[in-house]
Homo-oligomer: A and B are copies of this chain.
Amino acid sequence: MNLKQLSHMLALSQTTVSRALNGYPEVNEETRRRVIDAAKRHGYRPNPSARRLATGKTGMIGYVLPTGTAVDIDPHFVEFLSGLGDYARSHELDLVLSPADADDQETTYRRIVANRQVDAVYISSPRPADRRVALVSTLGIPFIVHGRSEGLDFDYPFTDIDNEGAFHEAARLLIQLGHRRLALINGDDRETFAIHRERGVRRALAASGLELGEGHVCSLAMTEENGYRAARRLLERSDAPTAIACSSLIMALGVVRAVRDLGLTIPSDLSLIAHDDVFPWLKPENFSVPLSTTRSSIRLAGARVAERLAARISGLEEGARGEVWPVDLVIRGSVAGAPG
């Protein structure tokens, strides 16, 4: 059932039927009702391929997925996706993932824009002066950045969490508890979130005349193994930290394992706070010693990004407003006063 057939059986022109269906004003309400009714009864759905050829609108949002045998998509992505999908569903939006060579995403961005394959895109895990943000901005497609990029000479719309504030609070708490030697087990420090977290920790330390000791900050891909290695390396030092802030729950698993292997105990030998993106399958309260966290649902962020993308597509949102969400600090058993 296409427009031609439908308009024919209604004895109306395609123009009128199309307008009736798309809510244009220049059509009699009575006629509109007839059209809408007939469309529903015959299950008419406009062919999206035809519509997009005519309008350029696709009803899809895009994401360039970095791939490569050496590239791992991290598990945060799936939680983000849950939120995004949840919103997208209720707005009839589909998501298209365009796999790209991790080292050459530009080509793919250009392609999906030139081909008008999607109405908007989002960018995640931005880095300082992120080229993707600059690119997408000049290409003129609506977009939202999940996270932030610093060092760009223009504003852009983003949704981020207050990573610096979160880790500042976490570090401040540890300092208040008497800790003097803190360490940070961070994610890849080429990414802005990691930079912000380190900044937060340093600021808290500086406020008390302290600093992050040489070698007391590690930046690694957020795997359990890296968490273990980093913790082990830190704790075997002569100036071992008495408290660790850790960028991920998965790394925290490794930290806990290292602590145990070394015959130490949390929190009496080591206080630990980790960032929790809220996974359904791994919860900080279920760590052998319940883990204190800085908590922010990455799933909600996904839903919010989808919402803003939808708003931008329909012209409801404009400009370069950035929003920063506060992060909860949740105290559990893994922190205590400094030993000794």
Contact = CB atoms under 8 A, between A and B. Distances in A.
A89 B103 CA distance: 13
Contacts of A93: 99
A223 B75 CA distance: 14
A325 interface: no
Interface stretch (A44-52, A200-208, A268-276): A44-52
A74 B281 contact: yes
A111 interface: yes
A260 B288 contact: yes
Contacts of A286: 224-225, 228, 254, 257
Contacts of A111: 45
Interface in A78-95: 78-79, 81-82, 85-86, 88-89, 93-95
Contact of A78 (B53, B69, B73): B73
Interface stretch (A60-68, A132-140, A327-335): A60-68
Interface in A254-281: 254, 257, 260-261, 279-281
A255 to B, nearest CB: 12
Contacts of A60: 96
A98 to B, nearest CB: 5
Contacts of A74: 78, 281
Interface stretch (A20-28, A114-122, A145-153, A209-217): A114-122
Interface in A211-247: 221-225, 228
B117 A94 contact: yes
A282 B89 CA distance: 31
A283 interface: yes
A161 interface: no
A250 interface: yes
Copies held by the complex: 2
B48 A50 contact: no
Given A95-B97, A96-B96, A261-B288, A82 B72 contact: yes
Contact of A52 (B49, B79, B281): B49
A253 interface: yes
A58 B281 CA distance: 36
A189 interface: no
Given A111-B45, A225-B283, A68 B96 contact: no
Interface in A97-111: 97-101, 111
A261 B287 CA distance: 11
Nearest to A84: B99
B95 A96 contact: yes
A100 B96 contact: no
A68 B95 contact: no
Interface of A: 45, 47-50, 52-53, 56, 58, 60, 65, 67-69, 71-75, 77-79, 81-82, 85-86, 88-89, 93-101, 111, 114-117, 221-225, 228, 250, 253-254, 257, 260-261, 279-283, 286, 288
Closest 9 CB pairs of A and B: A85-B99, A89-B99, A223-B281, A67-B85, A72-B280, A78-B78, A75-B75, A49-B53, A95-B97
